């Protein structure tokens, strides 16, 4: 596959999710976020989703924070 074709395909793959994101309302994005946070994996341990709260708890308990960064806005 020629480099120009590869770039065209790659750019379209990036562009399509951006276009889909632009169509999502704030309510839909909030719903996706809530569904993500309700995922079964987060019920198996005491996950904190509040950045301020986890730092406060880490200070009180003198523990490190294990941070898992994820997203909910794309499928």
Partner 1 sequence: MLFCHVTSRVEADPYQGLLQEKGGRGFPYLAFLDAEGNVIAKQGDRSVEGFEKTLATITDFRALEKKAKAGDRAAGIDAVIAGMELGAYDADQAKEKLAKLGPIPKDKQAKIDGMLVNFEVDAMMAKVRTQQQAEEAGRKFAEMEKEGRVPTGRTAWNFYAVMLAAHEAAGDAEAYEKALGVFKSLVEGQPNAARMTKRFEDTLEKLKKAKG
Among 6, 8, 9, 16, binds partner 1 (CB under 8 A): 6
13 contacts partner 1 (rule: CB under 8 A): no
20 contacts partner 1 (rule: CB under 8 A): no
* Interatomic CA distance for residues 67 and 69, integer angstroms: 6
Longest Cα–Cα distance in the chain: 57
Among 23, 40, 43, 66, binds partner 1 (CB under 8 A): 66
Question: Token pair 């509040």 is at which residue?
Answer: 50
Which residues does 20 contact at the CB level (< 8 Å), separation at least 6? 74
Site for partner 1 in 33-52 (CB under 8 A): 33, 36-37, 42, 45-49, 51
């Amino acid at each position: 596959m020629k480099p120009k074709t590869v770039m065209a395909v790659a750019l379209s793959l990036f562009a399509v999710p951006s276009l889909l994101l632009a169509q999502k309302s704030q309510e839909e994005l909030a719903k996706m976020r809530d569904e993500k946070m309700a995922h079964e994996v987060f019920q198996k341990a005491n996950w904190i989703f509040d950045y301020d709260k986890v730092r406060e708890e880490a200070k009180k308990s003198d523990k490190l924070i294990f941070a898992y960064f994820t997203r909910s806005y794309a499928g």
